[in-house]
Structure 1
Amino acid sequence: MTSNYFRNIIRFSLLALVQVLIFNRMNFFGFINPMVYILFLYWYPIKENRALFLATGFLLGFTIDVFSDTLALHSAATVTIAYLRPTIMRFVFGVNYEFQNFKLSNSTTAQQITFLALLIIAHHLVFFVLEIFSLANFLLILKKVFATVAASLILCLLLRSLFTEAKE
């Protein structure tokens, strides 16, 4: 139990540091900044306290906001995907999610990638709609969402493959 908390604290700290120190400074094509800290919400244990998960999601977003000067955009996006996570999991994993012994590592790779992609899409959609805050710029929102989703998904998949234990 305590190793789970320790692991989550390490993941939280490292992903926040990597996001703030490395990925926030990247600017592909002038507007694409990959957001890899979403992996924390992907890796967070499934059957943990939901209120604690929402608070941790807010704290993660707030931490990124403080160092990125983004006026609570990350906080709103992370709380939104933390709230939507059970619904997304039910959609991707179906009835398997309802079982008490369900683990993300026991699901197929396609399900894991779909789950991660939906988390990233939901996060980026909320983030860029709030950032631009004008439906007159709908095409700009879509451009930023799709480009940043592609970059974030590729980098998240790379990081996921580096730090996930292989199945035997």
Structure 2
Amino acid sequence: MNNNLFKILFQFVGLILLQVVVFDNIHLFGYVNPYIYIAWILLYPLKSERGLFLILSFIMGLSIDFFSNSGGINAASLLFIAYIRLPLLTSLLRKVDLDYLLFNVSSMPFTKLLSYISILVLSHHIILFSLEYFSFSNIEIILKHTVLSGIFTIVLLFISVQLFSPRK
């Protein structure tokens, strides 16, 4: 248990630092920014307490907002995807596949893993950019940022999950 707690905290702090120091400074073509900290939501163990998970997700988003001076938009979008993660997994997987004690993201079939990552990333991005621009007159910019940053983030997260999550 302690080993798992240290691993979770290391991922938590490491992804915040990686996002703030490295990925917040990447601006491809003016629209593409990767949001790698979403990996923490994807990889957090299902067997852990949900309330703690939501609180930690909010704190992670708030930490990124603090360093990015973005006024809570990361906290709101990260909390939302943390909240929908379990219902999304239950709708994507059969009950037999979703054993809370043995579940591992890397054991998901390719199409379901891609769907899981894509839905969470695009949900996060549409909320993030909608709150950032906060106007229907900017809908084109919101959609452009969501799609372009979303594709880049999905590719990075898919590769990260394949490389760094333990095999079953």
Q: Give the TM-score normalised by the residue count of structure 1.
A: 0.92
CA distance in 2, matches of 1:46, 1:100: 5
Q: What are structure 1's unaligned runs of at least 5 residues? A: none
Q: What is the Cα deviation at residue 165 of structure 1?
A: 3.5
Q: CA RMSD in A?
A: 1.6
Q: What is the Cα deviation at residue 138 of structure 1?
A: 1.6
Aligned to 1:147: 148
Aligned to 2:121: 120
- CA deviation string 1:55-83 (max 9, x = no partner): 01001101111111111010000111111
- CA deviation string 1:36-55 (max 9, x = no partner): 00000000001211110000
Note if contact 1:16-1:64 (Cα within 8 Å) is conserved in structure 2: yes
CA distance in 1, matches of 2:17, 2:68: 11
CA distance in 2, matches of 1:84, 1:108: 20
CA distance in 1, matches of 2:12, 2:100: 25
Aligned to 1:85: 85
List aligned pairs for 1:93-132, cutoff 5 A: 93-96=93-96, 99-104=99-104, 105-132=106-133
Number of positions where the alignment pairs a residue of Structure 1 with one of Structure 2: 167
Note if contact 2:129-2:145 (Cα within 8 Å) is conserved in structure 1: yes
Q: What are structure 2's unaligned runs of at least 5 residues? A: none
Assess, with a 3 A threshold, how the Cα gap between structure 1 residues 3 and 16 changes in structure 2: closer, same or farther: same
Q: Give the TM-score normalised by the residue count of structure 2.
A: 0.92
Aligned to 2:75: 75
Aligned residue for 1:71, secondary structure, equals: coil
Aligned to 2:63: 63
Letter in 1 for 2:154: L
Q: What is the Cα deviation at residue 140 of structure 1?
A: 1.6
Aligned residue for 1:51, secondary structure, equals: helix
Higher relative contact order (CA 8 A, sep 6+): 2
